[in-house]
Amino acid sequence: MISVAIELKKVRKTYGTEAVQTVALDDVDLTIDNGKFVVVLGPSGSGKSTLLNVMSGLDHLDEGKITIDDYAIDSMSDKALTQFRREHLGFIFQQYNLLQTLTVKENVEIGARLVEDALDSEKVLDDVGLSDHLNKYPFQLSGGEQQRVSIARALVKRPKILFCDEPTGAVDEETAKSVLEILQNLNKKYETTIVLITHNASIAKLAHSIVKMNSGKIVGVETNKPQEARKISWND
Amino acid sequence: MFKRHVVRTFARQWISVILLSFLLIISGFIYTIMAVSVRTLKDESEAYFETTNQEDFSVHLMRYVTDDDQAFDVACDFEVGMLLSTLKENDETCHQVLLDARLAALSEAEFSRDLEYRVHKDGYLDYGNTRHRTRVFRDNERINTSRIETGSYPESGEVAIGRLYAELNDLTLDDDIELDGQVYRISGYVLLPDYNLPIFEHMYMFDSAYQTIALVSHEDFDALSWQENRVLSGIVDETMDEDVLEETVMRFGFVERFVLTEHNLRSGAIYAELDGGQATGLFLSIMLAVIGLVIVGIMVSKTMSEERRTLGVFKALGVTRHEMVVPYLIGIALFSMISLFVGYVLGLLAAPWMQDLYLRFYLLPRGTINIQWVDLAVAVFVPTVIVVCLTAFNLYRMVKPPAVELIEPQVMKQKPRRIKWLKKLLKPFDLLQVLQGSMLIRQWGKVLIYVIGIFLALYMVFLSLGMRNLFQHTMQGYYGMHTYESVVYCEVPTQCDAAEHDKGIEIQVLVQGERSTLLALDPDNNTHPLPDLNNGDLRGKLSEGLIISRSFKDLTGLDVGDRVDIMAYGYTFTETIVGITDLYPGAYIFYDREAVSLMITQEVDYFNRLYTEERMETSGGMIVHRETMLEQVESIEGIYQTMIYLMVGGSFAMAVIVIYLLMLLTVESKYYEMSLFKVLGYTNKEISKVLLGGYFKLNVVIFISSIPLAIYSFGVLTRTMLDWFGFFFPLRMEHWDIVLAFVVFGLVAYVGSLHARHKIKKRSLQEALKIYQV
Ligand SMILES: Nc1ncnc2c1ncn2[C@@H]1O[C@H](COP(=O)(O)OP(=O)(O)O)[C@@H](O)[C@H]1O
Ligand SMILES: [Mg+2]
């Protein structure tokens, strides 16, 4: 049985003053199923990041309803949202956002301390292929390796949903591939729901489903055939 | 385009900008008001001291015949121990012979260029129902000559008095006053270079509203029936070494005391006061300017580093470094210059007021405000140039890397060795504590500025609280504890009726080389209780040894059981300390009167003070009532307190602003990390603990270490004042002050960080993580 992980209903978000308004999300309806790998695809400025921010509770929405696992995200207090993020959500951003003064292992432990039943940091780092770099500092790693540290940091606390905003935006193709493969494997291994944002159509192919955005609107949702969903090819 | 951007950058931080501007205005103000008023006073006074030939030192002579006097090869035969006043009554010629012989002996010692007796008589000035103390002078020929400020030199039947006294008592030229029952017309206002504070017999009483110097013609002076007093005034060549001078003079047995002008409260305090005022002004303004400008620099650098990426893009587009940096520099230069200039103008406007404030205490000529370009340069341009240069250096360095690098995240390029050390050091600690420590170490430059800023601010808080206590401690404490109604300053014991009254001898001595006042009392006196630390009374112990005041104990570290050398009147004796008395602020020691009397006159009934339990109206000496003293103290306290509260309030406000701004900036600079932790799911409480906890601990450490430092520096200040002027200046810190400072500091720091967090909250979490800065 497939349960619903995230549900958005008529979500609206605008930026700016009343005079100059940008509608970043325009009556968005979306359902994301549990355990799925979903890619949000769209050109720059189409509202992808905004979508991710509001559905993960990082930002407030103007109108509409968002529920994650029966929690009404839109009406939760800041404190409750924080607690919710802590227990259920993981994040990966384009800039890795590692703490420079901590080692690889320590960076992951920053994530692990958030929950009581966290995975073993070293084991997760092994999963992402960094077992040889435990005591290195972020500046001693390549971009892809740093991104893998941030993946490990997000995964170590076993989030139900992992939000990734352009996780491969700052690395080269080969590295991007390996990062994405790791995400794929984790999605399988831990059944983590993954919502990944990208403007790169090639990446979209590895998802179970693709949400296409343009000008703050969802312009289409595609479901990949299972056999295609496991292959990535770079052709753009 | 950049211009508009710079303006917006400043506008966005308007609270900080206003506070900073205030800081800079005050800095320019303090510098200017002090520099201008002090220079005006100094120039005017120097010229005045030059023309009136101010003494370089004064020598107090014994009032009785000493062994050295007896050894003079003169026609008169002097009896050792005989009072000079008795000698004068018996044989006026021999009295004069003795005075001449003393002067000649000192002159022959060849330490001075010139010597002259300074003669005065102490009495009362009456008008209407008012009676105030006055010291009437016989004008000198060479040293300490008078200057008539307004009006004319007193002819027969005329008197010149202090301008300040006249003003404060609504007297004007041509008014009549009485001296010694004789009517005198006020012909002018007089200044004497050796009395720029009207201090007569009592150190703490120098309020010009209650006592005045006066000058009458030679004939009128000689006709006054009051007791005549004289000290020797001397001028030396500039090359003279002070210690050699003092030693040379003190070798003569008839010398009671030697005082250099710069150590003399009545004539030389102005030097230290002006220098002190100028130094304080300079110190405070530099400190404020430095803090203010450093904060400006940090703010701009912070803004620019947040915009690294944008700048990188601009650079890639071909915008030059100058085009990016110069608008910021112009912004800073304008901001700093305008603020400082406003302070400068306010300072100029207030300088005459400051001069008058000095002249409310000091009898000195009033000068016309002396404005010089150098003030404008120092107050406005120098700080501006410095901040612009420093910021320029910082900003140019920041935009120097190639565009691509600016666009890339700014990460640590190599592991600093200090982080490695710290990690080792913090091994046993929790990960979050390691993070706290390593972040502080990583930004050690900022942390250093923070520590220095907070430290200075805290010191200002302590200083202001310490000053607040000042006068309560000195004056009222002192006068509140005696039980006598009147004290007679009796220079000639035979002229004062001592029956039924407590006798005392007050002289200046050196105890183990430290200046102090010896008060010799009888063990059975009723007027000077000597409570010990347990409220017992030590009067009975006066005949057993020395009793010292608690302040003196604190200053010297001497304690019960110590044997000390006491030097006075050419005698040195050794005595054991038998008690510490809790009263009497200042360096006081107490000893048996008869013993001191024997030492001085070889008889047991000598005294120079009489203390009466009932108010006494007439006596052979100058009478001062306790009530009058308290009145004076309160009046001076009023003025001092206004000044002190101004300073207290001012430095307090400054300190608050500095703490607030530093806190705000520091917390804001943690914007990135705070957002990251928040996104990860850390609660606000945990975030504060991790990211601000380090600063909290730092604050506690700074606070705790600033306490002993403040106490120590207060001690040094107090000791210096005592050493130089014998003036007890009890800058003290009470437990209460520490609590108060802590509360204020904590509160301000808290509000500052709250404000910062509020600002952070308003920015979106995810935006923070886009900032290319780790
Ligand atoms: N903090 C913000 N303030 C104002 N406008 C914003 C803000 N964030 C995003 N926008 C605008 O909202 C629209 C969607 O932005 P975003 O969600 O970041 O797009 P994407 O991630 O698809 O590139 C854009 O037009 C962008 O300019
Ligand atoms: Mg985006």
Let me know if residue B354 belongs to a domain.
Answer: yes
Residue nearest to atom 4 of ligand 1 (CA): A15
Ligand nearest to the CA of A42: 1
Among B159-168, B237-246, B628-637, the range with the most confident prediction by mean pLDDT is: B159-168
CA distance B231 to B62: 10
Q: Do residues B658 and B760 both lie within one domain? A: yes
Please tell me the distance in Å from B755's CA to the nearest CA on chain A.
Answer: 18
pLDDT at B174: 95
Go through chain A and tell me how many residues it has: 236
pLDDT over 90 (residue B19): no
* Whether the predicted pLDDT of A236 surpasses 70: no
CA of residue B717 to ligand 2 center, whole Å? 63
Establish if A135 touches chain B: CB-CB under 8 angstroms: no
pLDDT in tens, B589-620: 999 999 988 887 778 888 888 888 888 777 66
Instruction: Give nearest CA residue, ligand 1 atom 3.
Output: A15
Total of domains in chain B: 4
Single out the residue in B607, B627, B647 at which a domain terminates.
B627
ipTM at complex level: 0.86
Kindly state whether residue B170 falls inside one of the protein's structural domains: yes
Residues in contact with ligand 1 (CB, 6 Å cut-off): A 15-16, 22, 24, 42, 44-50; B 764, 767
Is B428 domain-assigned? Answer: no
B167 and B24: one domain? no
Give the Cα separation of B116 and B170 in Å (integer). Answer: 35
Half-sphere exposure of B566 (CA within 13 A, CB side): 26
Nearest CA to ligand 1 atom 24: A45
Name the residue facing B412 among A58, A100, A106 (closest C-beta): A100
Q: pLDDT digits over B698-728, tens only?
A: 889 999 999 898 888 888 877 777 666 656 6
Phi, psi of B482 (to 5 degrees): -80, 155
- Alpha-carbon gap, residue B746 to B738, rounded angstroms: 12
Of A70-74, B263-267, B395-399, which has the strongest mean pLDDT?
A: A70-74
Ligand closest in space to the Cα of A41:
1
In this structure, are B620 and B482 located in the same domain? yes
Whether residues B384 and B453 share a domain: the answer is: no
pLDDT recorded at residue B773:
37
Nearest protein Cα to ligand 1, atom 12: A24
Whether the predicted pLDDT of B636 surpasses 70: no
Rounded Cα gap, residues B197 and B680, in angstroms: 70
Both B369 and B280 in one domain: the answer is yes
Residues B650 and B616 occupy one common structural domain: no
The answer on pLDDT for B154 being more than 60 is yes
Confirm whether B223 is domain-assigned. yes
Asked if A160 is an interface residue toward chain B (Cβ–Cβ < 8 A), one would say no
Claim to verify: residue B634 and residue B700 sit in the same structural domain = yes
Chain B contact present for A49, CB below 8 A: yes
The pLDDT-based confidence of B772 (bands split at 50, 70, 90) is very low
pLDDT at residue B723 in the model: 66
The mean pLDDT of B437-443, rounded to a whole number, is: 78
Atom number of ligand 1 nearest to Cα A42? 22
pLDDT at B371: 85
Q: Which two tokens stand for residue B281?
A: 């002004």
pLDDT at position A132 is 93
What residues of chain A lie within 8 A of the CB of B678, using their CB? 82
- A36-68 in b/e form (b: 16+ CB < 10 A) is bbbbbbbeeebbbbbbbbbbbbbbebeebebbb
The pLDDT confidence band at residue B769, using thresholds 50, 70 and 90, is low
Confidence of residue A32 (pLDDT cuts 50, 70, 90): very high
What gap in Å lies between CA B511 and CA B517, rounded to an integer? 9
Closest approach atom of ligand 1 to CA A51: 17
Instruction: Find out whether A196 and A164 touch, Cβ atoms under 8 Å.
Output: yes
Question: Measured between alpha carbons, how far is B32 from B345 in angstroms, rounded to an integer?
Answer: 8
In-domain check, residue B622: yes
Contacts of B419 in chain A (CB under 8 A): 101
Ligand 1 atom nearest to A44, measured from its CA: 23
More confident residue, B378 or B83: B378
Which of B213, B231, B249 terminates a domain? The answer is B231
Taking the CA of residue A29 and the nearest CA in chain B, the distance in Å comes to: 22
Q: pLDDT for A33-73, tens place per residue?
A: 998 999 999 998 899 988 998 898 888 888 999 999 888 98
Put simply, the answer to whether A82 touches B683 (Cβ < 8 Å) is yes
The residue in chain B having the minimum alpha-carbon distance to the alpha carbon of residue A105 is: B431
pLDDT of residue B169: 92
Minimum CA–CA partner of B415 in chain A: A137
Question: What integer pLDDT is reported at residue B40 of this predicted model?
Answer: 93
The best mutation among A22, A94, A215 to test binding of ligand 1, ranked by most ligand atoms within 8 Å of the C-beta, falls on A22
- The tens digit of pLDDT for each residue in B269-298 reads 788 778 877 777 787 788 777 777 777 777
Q: Is the dihedral of CA A102, A107, A110, A116 positive or negative?
A: negative
Q: Which ligand is nearest to the CA of A169?
A: 2
Give the separation between CA B419 and CA B432, rounded to whole angstroms: 15
- Whether B467 is in a domain gets the answer yes
Flag whether B41 is in a domain. yes
User: For the segment B455-497, what is each residue's pLDDT rounded down to a tens digit?
Assistant: 888 887 887 777 766 655 555 555 556 678 888 888 777 778 8
pLDDT reading at A229 higher than 50: no
Give just the sign of the alpha carbon dihedral B262, B264, B267, B270.
positive
Supply the residue whose CA is at minimum distance from atom 27 of ligand 1.
Answer: A45
User: Based on the domain organization, do B452 and B581 belong to the same domain?
Assistant: no
Closest-CA distance, A82 to chain B, in angstroms, reads: 5
Cβ-defined contact of A139 to B411 (cutoff 8 Å): yes
Claim to verify: residue B658 and residue B752 sit in the same structural domain? yes
The stretch B345-365 carries a mean pLDDT of: 89
For residue B743, what are the CA distances in angstroms to B455, B630, B703?
16, 34, 11
Q: Which two tokens stand for residue A103?
A: 């080692």
Q: Which residue of A has its CA nearest to B763?
A: A59
Sequence-ordered list of residues with C-beta below 8 angstroms from that of B593, at least 6 positions apart, any chain: B503, B504, B505, B520, B521, B522, B542, B607
Residue B99 pLDDT > 60: yes
Q: Tell me the per-residue pLDDT of A123-155, one tens digit each, with 9 for 90 and over.
A: 999 988 899 999 888 888 888 899 899 999 998
Q: Hey, what are A58's tokens?
A: 């990082």
Report pLDDT for B255. 84
Beta-strand runs (E) in B439-499: 486-489
Cα B533 to Cα B531: distance, rounded to the nearest angstrom: 7
Extract the tokens encoding B704. Answer: 């705790």
Nearest-CA distance B333 → chain A (Å): 33
**Confidence check: pLDDT of A234 > 50:** no
pLDDT per residue over B193-243, tens digit each? 999 888 876 666 677 888 899 999 999 999 998 888 889 999 887 777 777
A163 contact B CB<8A: no
Tokens of B770: 């886009």
Same domain, B301 and B382: yes
Chain B residue numbers touching A138 (CB-CB < 8 A): 411-412, 774
pLDDT at residue B774 greater than cutoff 50: no
- At residue A211 the predicted structure's pLDDT band, cuts being 50, 70 and 90, is very high
- Indicate whether B656 pLDDT > 90: no
Using the 3D structure, point to which of B357, B388, B408 is the last residue of a domain. Answer: B408
Residue B415 has pLDDT above 70, yes or no: no
Query: Residue A32 pairs with which residues in a beta bridge?
Result: A6
pLDDT at position A123 is: 92
For residue B101, name the pLDDT band (cuts at 50, 70, 90): very high
B41 vs B247, residue with greater confidence: B41
Q: How far is B415 from chain A (nearest CA, A)?
A: 8
- In terms of domains, do B616 and B540 share one? yes
**In this structure, what DSSP letter does residue B377 have?**
I
- What is the residue type of B46? E
CB contact under 8 A, B683 and A86: yes
Q: How many angstroms does the Cα of residue A45 sit away from the middle of ligand 2?
A: 7
Q: Percent of chain B beyond pLDDT 90? A: 22
Which atom of ligand 1 lies closest to the CA of A197? 21
Task: Tell me the residues of B at the A interface, defined by beta carbons under 8 Å apart.
Answer: 409, 411-415, 419, 431-432, 434-435, 438-439, 441-442, 673, 676, 678-684, 764-766, 769-770, 772, 774
- Which tokens hold the place of A185? 């494997």
Q: Do B412 and A113 touch (CB under 8 A)?
A: no
Closest ligand 1 atom to A165 CA: 21
Instruction: Please tell me which of the candidates B681, B764, B772 has its beta carbon nearest to residue A59.
Output: B764
Report CA-CA distances (Å) from B243 to B106, B260, B263.
16, 10, 13
Copy the structure tokens of residue B314. Answer: 């601009």
Note whether A77 contacts B: Cβ–Cβ < 8 A.
no
Q: Are residues B355 and B459 in the same domain?
A: no
At residue B13, does pLDDT exceed 60?
yes
Atom 25 (ligand 1): residue with closest C-alpha? A45
Residue B697: pLDDT band by 50, 70, 90 thresholds? confident
Ligand closest to the CA atom of residue A165 = 2
B403-416 average pLDDT score: 62
For residue B581, tell me if it sits in a domain.
yes
In chain A, the domains with their CATH numbers are 25-231 (3.40.50.300)
SS3 percent helix, strand, coil of chain A, rounded to 5, is 35, 30, 40
Cα–Cα distance for residue pair B446/B452, rounded to 1 Å: 10
Mean pLDDT of chain B: 82
Of residues B667 and B168, which shows the higher confidence score? B168
B683/A97 Cβ within 8 A: no
Of A14, A49, A93, the residue with max ligand 1 atoms within 8 A of its CB, to mutate for a pocket test, comes to A49
Residue A230 to residue B2: CA distance in whole angstroms: 49
- pLDDT at B680 exceeding the cut of 50: yes
Compute, in angstroms, the gap from residue A200 CA to the centroid of ligand 2.
12
- Measured from the CA of B764, which atom of ligand 1 is nearest? 1
The crossing angle, in degrees rounded to 10, of helices B417-425 and B431-442 is 150
Residue A40 tokens read as 């949000």
Domain enclosing residue B38, as ranges: 1-51+268-408
Q: Does A98 touch chain B (CB under 8 A)?
A: yes
Q: Which atom of ligand 1 is nearest to the CA of A47?
A: 17
Q: Is A171 exposed, middle or buried (0-12, 13-18, 19+ CB in 10 A)?
A: buried
